[in-house]
Amino acid sequence: MTHPTPLLLLPGLMNDERVWDPVRKALPAEREVFVSPTHTADSITALAASALAAMAPGKFAVAGFSLGGYVAVEVCRQAPERIAGIALLDTGARADSEEATQNRRRMVAALGSGSASFAQVAGGFAPITLHPAHAQDAQLLQLLGDMARSVGTEGFTRQQTAAMNRQDGRDVLRTLHCPALVLCGREDQITPPALSEEMASLLPGDVELVLVPQSGHMSTLEQPAAVVAAFTRWIARVDAGVSSADAR
C-alpha cells in the first residue's frame, strides 16, 4: 500500500487557497495538505522559507500555480533533500523579463499614487487570464474577484515585488530527480505553453507535460477535471516513488 505523501500547495498572483479547491476536493482525506499563502512577504525566498517552516519534517510533494510556481522552485532550491515530487502549473522558470518588470512597476506605482484603484487593476486581469469561452462566466469572475480582494492591495504589491526580483530557477529544475508534472492551459497568455515545454525539457526525472485544451491561465478553475486527472496521475507516481524508497 502506497504512503500518502504530504502535499504543499502554493497559490498564484491575486489567488488564495480557493484556486486549489478542485484539486483539494479530489484528494483523499488521509493526505496531509497545506496551502501556504504567497502574498505575505515581498520576496520569493522569504515565501519559500515560510512554507518550508510550516511543513512537518520529512519528504513532501510541492505544487505551485503561477506565482506559486516560482515559490515551489525556490522551495526545491532551499530543501532539495525533502522534495518527493514537483508540479508546476501555468508558470515558468525564468527570471522576470525587463518588459514584465516594468509592467509590474507601473501597476504598483498606479496603486501607490491613487491613479488606479485595486479593483480596476484586478479587473484588468480577467480578459487576459481566461480563455474566451470562460470570459463571461459570472461565477468564475466572482471567484477571481473575491480571491483578489482577499489578497488586497498590500498583498498584491508584495507579490509583484517578489515576482520582479525572483531568481532564474532553471538551474534548480535540472537537479530535480523526482516525479514531475508540468501543466499549462493551451491558450495561456500570461505564461505561454513554451515556458512549460522548456521546464519539462529541463527536468531530468519522470516528467509529464500536459497542455490543457480550451483553457487560459486559470487552468485549475477553467478546466478542473483535466487538471485533477493530471494531478492524480502525478501524486500516484510520487507516492509510489516514496514507498519504493522507504522499502529499500
Cell 474577484 sits on residue: 145
CATH topology of domain 7-96+164-247: Rossmann fold (3.40.50)
Q: What is the pLDDT of residues 85-126, one digit of tens each?
A: 999 999 999 999 999 999 999 999 989 888 889 888 888 888
Pairing of strands 207-212, 180-185: parallel
d(CA 45, CA 77): 9
Structure confidence at residue 247 (pLDDT): 60
Q: What is the pLDDT of residues 222-244, one digit of tens each?
A: 999 999 999 999 999 999 988 77
**Over residues 169-180, mean pLDDT:** 98
pTM: 0.96
Q: Edge-to-edge, what's the strand order for the sheet holding 83-89? A: 33-35, 7-10, 60-65, 83-89, 180-185, 207-212
